[in-house]
Structure 1
Amino acid sequence: MALPQSPRAVRRQTPRSLRTPLFLALALALPAVAMAQDGGQDPRHDEVKDLDRVVVSASPLRRNAEDLIRPVEVLGGEALDNAKANSLGETVGRLPGVQASYFGPGVGRPIIRGLDGARVQVLSDGLSAGDVSTVSVDHAVSIEPFLASQIEVLKGPSSLLYGSGAIGGAVNVVEGRVPDAVTAEPIEGRAEVRFGTGNDEKTAMARMDATAANGKLVFHIDGLHRETGDYDIPGYAEHAHDGDADHEPGARGRLPNSFVRTDAGAFGMSYVGERGHLGMAASLFNTRYGIPGHAHAHEDDHGGGEEHGEEGVSIRMDQRRTELRGGLRGLGIFDSLRVKLSNTDYTHTEFEGDEIGTVFENDTLEARAELVHLDWAGWDGAFGLQASQRDFVAIGEEAFVPASKSRDTGLFWVGEREFGALKLELGARYDRNTIDVDSSEAIGPSRDFDASNLSAALRWNLSDDFHLSFGIDRAQRSPTSEELYSDGLHVATNSFEFGDPTLDVETANRVEAGLHWHRGNLSLGASLYYVGYDDFIYLADTGVTDDDIPARVWTQGDARFTGAEFDLKWTFLENAGGDWMLHAYGDIVRGRLTGSGTRSVAFSVPHDDHTHDYTADIALSGDLPRIAPARFGAELRWSNTHWRAGLGAVRYFDQDRVAEFEETTDGYTLVNADIAWHIDRANGNAYELFVNANNLLDEEARPHTSFLKDLAPLPGRNVSFGVRMFF
Structure 2
Amino acid sequence: MSATTENGPTVVVVTGTGYRISKDALMSHVDILTRDEIDQRPPTGLGDMLAYLPGIRSSSFSPGASRPIIRGLEGFRVLVLNNGMGMVDVSALSQDHAVPSDPTEARRIEVLRGPSALAYGGNAIGGVINVIDDRIPSQAPAKGYEGTLALQGTSVDQGLQGAFNIKAGKGPWVFTFDAFDHKTKDYATPVPPQLLSYSEADGEAPDTRRKQTNSAQDMRNVGAGVSYVGEQGFVGLSYKTTDYTYGTAIEQDVHIDLHQERWDARGGLNLNWGGFNRLDASAGYSDYNHAEVEGGELGTQFLSKGSEFRAALVRDSLGKVSGTVGVSALKRDFEAIGEEAFVPSTTTKQTGIFTQYRYDSGAWGIEGGARVDQTSIVSRESNFDRDFNTVSASLGSFYRPSQHTFVGLSLTRSERAPADVEVLANGPHAATGQYIIGNPNFKTEVGYSLELTGHLASFENQRFSVDAHIYTSHFDNFIDLRDTGGKDDEGMPIFEYVQTNADIYGLEIEANARLGEAFGQAFSLNAAYDYTHGNTDIGPVVRIPPQALTLRLESKGGAWESYAEVRAVDARKSRLATFETPTNGYTTVNIFTSYKLPQLPNVSLFAEVRNLGDIEMREATSSTKDAVVEPGRNLRLGLVYNF
Q: TM-score scaled to structure 2, two decimals?
A: 0.95
Pair 1:483-2:430 in alignment: no
Match of 2:499, as an amino acid? Q
2:439 match? 500
Q: After TM superposition, give the deviation of residue 549 of structure 1 in Å.
A: 2.3
CA contact (8 A) 1:430 1:452 kept: yes
**1:262 aligned to 194, 219, 222, which one?**
219
Report the Cα distance in structure 2 between the residues aligned to 1:238 and 1:569, rounded to whole angstroms: 39
1:250 match? 207
2:405 match? 466
Give matches, 1:286-435, under 5 Å: 286-295=243-252, 312-333=253-274, 334-373=276-315, 379-435=321-377
Give matches, 1:60-75, under 5 Å: 60-75=18-33
Secondary structure at the counterpart of residue 161 of structure 1: helix
Q: Which moved further from structure 2: 135-144 or 238-247?
A: 238-247
Pair 1:273-2:235 in alignment: no
Q: After TM superposition, give the deviation of residue 579 of structure 1 in Å.
A: 0.8
Q: Which moved further from structure 2: 169-178 or 367-376?
A: 367-376
Report the Cα distance in structure 2 between the residues aligned to 1:46 and 1:190, rounded to whole angstroms: 22
Report the Cα distance in structure 2 between the residues aligned to 1:147 and 1:657, rounded to whole angstroms: 39
Pair 1:230-2:173 in alignment: no
* Change beyond 3 A, Cα 1:403–1:525: same
CA contact (8 A) 2:596 2:602 kept: yes
* Change beyond 3 A, Cα 1:284–1:445: same
Secondary structure at the counterpart of residue 91 of structure 1: helix
Match of 2:492, as an amino acid? I
Cα distance per residue 1:70-127 (max 9 Å; x no partner): 3211111443333343201111111111111111111111111111110000111111
Pair 1:636-2:553 in alignment: yes
2:122 match? 164
Report the Cα distance in structure 2 between the residues aligned to 1:54 and 1:589, rounded to whole angstroms: 27
2:571 match? 654
CA contact (8 A) 1:421 1:462 kept: yes
1:3 match? none
Pair 1:57-2:15 in alignment: yes
CA contact (8 A) 1:421 1:460 kept: yes
CA contact (8 A) 2:122 2:392 kept: no
Report the Cα distance in structure 1 between the residues aligned to 2:563 and 2:5, rounded to whole angstroms: 20
1:15 match? none
* Change beyond 3 A, Cα 1:585–1:277: same
Pair 1:568-2:511 in alignment: yes
1:582 match? 525
* Change beyond 3 A, Cα 1:241–1:462: farther
Give matches, 1:170-185, under 5 Å: 170-185=128-143
Q: TM-score scaled to structure 1, two decimals?
A: 0.84
CA contact (8 A) 2:548 2:569 kept: yes
Cα distance per residue 1:25-48 (max 9 Å; x no partner): xxxxxxxxxxxxxxxxxxx99999
* Change beyond 3 A, Cα 1:532–1:648: same
Q: After TM superposition, give the deviation of residue 541 of structure 1 in Å.
A: 1.3
Match of 1:630, as an amino acid? Q
Match of 2:213, as an amino acid? P
Report the Cα distance in structure 1 between the residues aligned to 2:3 and 2:412, rounded to whole angstroms: 40
Give matches, 1:644-723, under 5 Å: 644-655=561-572, 656-679=574-597, 681=599, 686-723=602-639
Report the Cα distance in structure 2 between the residues aligned to 1:114 and 1:291, rounded to whole angstroms: 23
Q: After TM superposition, give the deviation of residue 280 of structure 1 in Å.
A: 0.4
Report the Cα distance in structure 1 between the residues aligned to 2:586 and 2:320, rounded to whole angstroms: 51
* Change beyond 3 A, Cα 1:555–1:56: same
Report the Cα distance in structure 1 between the residues aligned to 2:368 and 2:584, rounded to whole angstroms: 43
Cα distance per residue 1:128-187 (max 9 Å; x no partner): 122110111111111110111111000236552112211100011111110111112211
Cα distance per residue 1:513-566 (max 9 Å; x no partner): 121112312211111110000010010112223444221100000000010110
Report the Cα distance in structure 2 between the residues aligned to 1:390 and 1:47, rounded to whole angstroms: 44
**1:134 aligned to 82, 92, 96, which one?**
92
CA contact (8 A) 2:234 2:268 kept: yes
* Change beyond 3 A, Cα 1:375–1:284: closer
Cα distance per residue 1:252-304 (max 9 Å; x no partner): 21111000000012100100000111110001111000011215xxxxxxxxx
Cα distance per residue 1:654-677 (max 9 Å; x no partner): 112211232121111221111111
Report the Cα distance in structure 1 between the residues aligned to 2:33 and 2:214, rounded to whole angstroms: 31
Q: After TM superposition, give the deviation of residue 64 of structure 1 in Å.
A: 3.2
CA contact (8 A) 1:157 1:168 kept: no
1:298 match? none
What is the aligned-residue identity percentage? 33
Q: Which moved further from structure 2: 429-438 or 46-55?
A: 46-55
Secondary structure at the counterpart of residue 196 of structure 2: coil
What RMSD over aligned residues (CA atoms) do the two structures have, in Å? 2.2
Report the Cα distance in structure 2 between the residues aligned to 1:654 and 1:346, rounded to whole angstroms: 38
* Change beyond 3 A, Cα 1:355–1:473: same
Cα distance per residue 1:5-30 (max 9 Å; x no partner): xxxxxxxxxxxxxxxxxxxxxxxxxx
Match of 1:253, as an amino acid? R
Report the Cα distance in structure 2 between the residues aligned to 1:316 and 1:700, rounded to whole angstroms: 29
Report the Cα distance in structure 2 between the residues aligned to 1:49 and 1:78, rounded to whole angstroms: 19
**1:149 aligned to 69, 83, 107, which one?**
107
Report the Cα distance in structure 2 between the residues aligned to 1:120 and 1:409, rounded to whole angstroms: 19
Q: After TM superposition, give the deviation of residue 242 of structure 1 in Å.
A: 9.9
CA contact (8 A) 2:324 2:355 kept: yes
CA contact (8 A) 1:142 1:319 kept: yes
1:196 match? 154
Secondary structure at the counterpart of residue 423 of structure 2: helix
Structure whose alpha-carbon radius of gyration is higher = 1
User: How many residue pairs get matched?
Assistant: 635
Structure 2: unaligned runs, 5 residues or longer: none
Match of 2:404, as an amino acid? D
Secondary structure at the counterpart of residue 33 of structure 2: strand
* Change beyond 3 A, Cα 1:45–1:340: closer
Cα distance per residue 1:56-75 (max 9 Å; x no partner): 33331132322333321111
Report the Cα distance in structure 1 between the residues aligned to 2:48 and 2:567, rounded to whole angstroms: 14
Pair 1:118-2:61 in alignment: no
* Change beyond 3 A, Cα 1:549–1:374: closer
Report the Cα distance in structure 2 between the residues aligned to 1:363 and 1:51, rounded to whole angstroms: 40
* Change beyond 3 A, Cα 1:388–1:114: same
Secondary structure at the counterpart of residue 482 of structure 2: strand
